[in-house]
Amino acid sequence: MDAPLSFSSDIAFTPTVKAIQSRKGSRDGYAQMEDRGGWRVAITPDLAGFIGEQISFFLATANAQGQPYIQHRGGPAGFLRVLDDRTLAFADYKGNRQFITQGNLVDNPKAYIFLIDYVHQRRVKLWGTARVVEDDPALTASLMPPDYKARPEQTILFHVEAWDTNCPKHIPLRFDAETVAQELAKREARIDALEAEIGQLRSELATVSRAAGS
């Protein structure tokens, strides 16, 4: 069993990491952050709102030998669900059936979720543990987004132990296809409205010109 952490951020700031921070000059700043309580451990309303807007995230696990593995998960906004202030959940869809994530979690429950919003240039990282629930079809069904074309196989529950945000630096500005399509549709509707208005004005002007010449 792991020893209790002095600070929530110690989940990532190991003694080796802190030694490097000291050598490179950033330890004092992070020590002040630790004195203020370290990273947050409970999901706040702001974080819950951010999570509910995401259509994509990355889930990292590692096997018993420490070999890391990162898997992308995607779905409609809201597919990653906040169950309570320490628990996230999502329906695990059938895929290539390699089951690397599930096998890793059997041997090593430690996991990590990385969320990035390219449009608003925000990123959130969450450390915790995860487990696969295979024997609760009602739970899995409750996590399925309405009308989403995917076959749910099981549920993954993620227990949050600490989370933090990154600065927006170096996050490229990107838009998903649905957002682009919506904005283009708005532009086309505006163009149609303006063309109709121009046509109406031309018709009225022609009427006035005919009346003036008669």
Q: Using one digit for the tens of pLDDT, what is the confidence trace for 23-32?
A: 999 999 999 9
**3-state class (DSSP) for residue 86:** coil
Nearest one of 46, 33, 40, 51 to 88, comparing CA atoms: 51
pLDDT, position 214: 63
- Pick out the chain residues at pLDDT < 50: none
pLDDT, position 31: 96
Nearest one of 117, 46, 126, 45 to 90, comparing CA atoms: 126
d(CA 129, CA 108): 9
Q: What count of residues does the chain have?
A: 214
pTM: 0.82
- How many H helices and E strands in the chain? 6, 7
Alpha carbon separation from 211 to 123, 127, 203 (Å, rounded): 64, 77, 12
pLDDT, position 166: 84
